[in-house]
Amino acid sequence: MALPPVLKGQSVQLPDVKTYAQIPQIIDVPNLIQSQIQSWDWIKAEGLTEVYQEISPIADYTGNKYELHFLEHYFRDPKYSPQQSKEREITYSQPLYVKTRLVMKETGEIKEQEIFMGDIPMMTNNGTFIINGAERVVVSQLVRSPGIYFVLERNAISNRNLCSAKLIPSRGAWLEFETSSKDIISVKVDRKRKVSASTFLRALGVADDDDMMKLFSDIDTDETHNYMQTTLDKDPILEPKDLNFKEDDLRSLWEWLHEDKDFDGDAARRIAAAQIEFYRRLRPGEPPSLENSRTLIRNLFFGPRRYDLGRVGRYKLNRRLGQATNNDLMTLSLDDVVSVIRTMVRINQGEGRPDDIDHLGNRRVRAVGELVQNQVRVGLLRMERMVKEKMTLVDPEAAAPQGLVNIRPVVAAVREFFGGSQLSQFMDQTN
């Protein structure tokens, strides 16, 4: 029996097909490209909004003249259909427009404009893209999920199993915690030089040694291996007598870390000394100052532009550490660091369990929407630097959003991804 012909380009319906299979079809074939299409719908509706909110507002270098806000975006209809794009050997795309607002702080004047942000390649109903007339597909990527991972390894010197941990954000600096054979817990930032855990905690605001020990007093009870006490005893930071700090700087530091507490000058000096030590370890050879140290720590762990756990990372971090931190907090907190060290101490004492990094439960799939979002973010960060440079030169009377924004970095980043990335492949080259 011959299969019925395909009429007018329409696919054959299932009731029209005669099957000779002996095994009945119990479950319908799922829509295998649904995840790709849903991911693309997400970036059009929410993903682009997120990256524009990350860089908005863009202020000039002084922070006193201009602020450029990105409000909302929308797509206009494509000029050609997918079939026409193939025939003309062009990219099937839609023009992206963003509503912007330029605030001139000196005069209070506000200018609003819609800016063309380039032609963004669009996904067809088949989950593919038409790039220069050729049909391409973006392959999903399997990556290690952001979050916290605890590993137990045998130490050759002490012949004991000692715990180490990696705190991996979606974007930003990695934190690696280690336990030495002498029971000292240390921290590495982006695989650079070590800092003792006590110095790191003090730099984040735990000024008093007694307060630090109280954070671990209920679990660090082994008299033979008392990890935090040993770490404190070996801490190079003592009384900061040799360092001179201005009181205004110390008050500013205290308000940043302890805005709900009364100012304590001695505690603020210990925190400042720890931040100076942290800066020296990470930036050897550069002259340290309290302002530079505070800026480094803020940018590394508390600035949403530089550090982002991501929703998945925050969820997995809270779940693994058993804490109730706000799921909307995408940066690091002091409670996160304390909980990591507490868990390490418990695992060192044989009470907790380590993680299997290779387990698929510790990996996640990056679909097309997230991959393109990362490229748009790269382009927008390049564009941000160019906007700031133009703000220093532009005449206030002639200043307008259209004249400040250069879309080339964004367009180039997206074009480079679809045209040259290993994850963007020709349809006919897949087995």
Q: What is the DSSP string of 116-150?
A: EEEEEE-B-TTS-EEETTEEEEEPPEEEEPSEEEE
| pLDDT at residue 240 in the model | 55
Considering the domain boundaries, does residue 19 fall inside one?
A: no
Q: Which of 359, 273, 284 is CA-nearest to residue 316?
A: 359
Domain count, the chain: 2
| pLDDT at residue 395 in the model | 80
| pLDDT at residue 16 in the model | 66
In degrees rounded to 5, what are phi and psi of residue 32?
Answer: -75, -15
| pLDDT at residue 8 in the model | 44
Amino acid making up residue 143: V
| pLDDT at residue 237 in the model | 55
Q: Which of 180, 206, 179 is CA-nearest to residue 340?
A: 179
8 A C-beta contact, residue 197 and residue 204: no
Amino acid making up residue 69: H
Question: Is residue 181 located within the same domain as residue 299?
Answer: yes
Question: Is residue 309 located within the same domain as residue 161?
Answer: yes
CATH of the domain at 129: 3.90.1100.10
Q: What is the pLDDT of residues 281-327, one digit of tens each?
A: 888 888 888 888 888 888 888 888 888 888 888 989 998 888 877 77
Question: Is residue 91 located within the same domain as residue 196?
Answer: no
Amino acid making up residue 208: D
8 A C-beta contact, residue 146 and residue 310: yes
| pLDDT at residue 1 in the model | 40
Pairwise CA distance, residues 268 & 205, whole Å: 8
Q: Which domain holds residue 156?
A: 148-363
Burial bucket for residue 162 (CB in 10 Å: 0-12, 13-18, 19+) = buried
Beta strand pairing call for 185-189 and 58-59: unpaired
| pLDDT at residue 416 in the model | 92
Separation in Å, CA 245 to CA 254, 282, 288, 290, 402: 13, 21, 12, 8, 45
Which residues are registered as beta bridge partners of 189?
175
Question: Is residue 335 located within the same domain as residue 238?
Answer: yes
- Which of 346, 363, 380 is the last residue before a domain boundary? 363
Considering the domain boundaries, does residue 24 fall inside one?
A: no
Pairwise CA distance, residues 406 & 384, whole Å: 9
Considering the domain boundaries, does residue 10 fall inside one?
A: no
Q: What is the pLDDT of residues 235-260, one digit of tens each?
A: 765 555 556 777 787 888 888 877 77
Question: Is residue 212 located within the same domain as residue 129?
Answer: no
Considering the domain boundaries, does residue 22 fall inside one?
A: no
Considering the domain boundaries, does residue 13 fall inside one?
A: no
Question: Is residue 255 located within the same domain as residue 271?
Answer: yes
Question: Is residue 191 located within the same domain as residue 253?
Answer: yes
Considering the domain boundaries, does residue 6 fall inside one?
A: no
SS3 254: helix
Considering the domain boundaries, does residue 152 fall inside one?
A: yes
Low-confidence ranges of the chain (pLDDT < 50): 1-12
| pLDDT at residue 239 in the model | 55
State the DSSP code for 428.
G
Residue with tokens 């959003």: 401
| pLDDT at residue 61 in the model | 84
| pLDDT at residue 14 in the model | 53
CATH of the domain at 350: 3.90.1110.10
| pLDDT at residue 431 in the model | 53
Question: Is residue 210 located within the same domain as residue 358?
Answer: yes
Considering the domain boundaries, does residue 18 fall inside one?
A: no
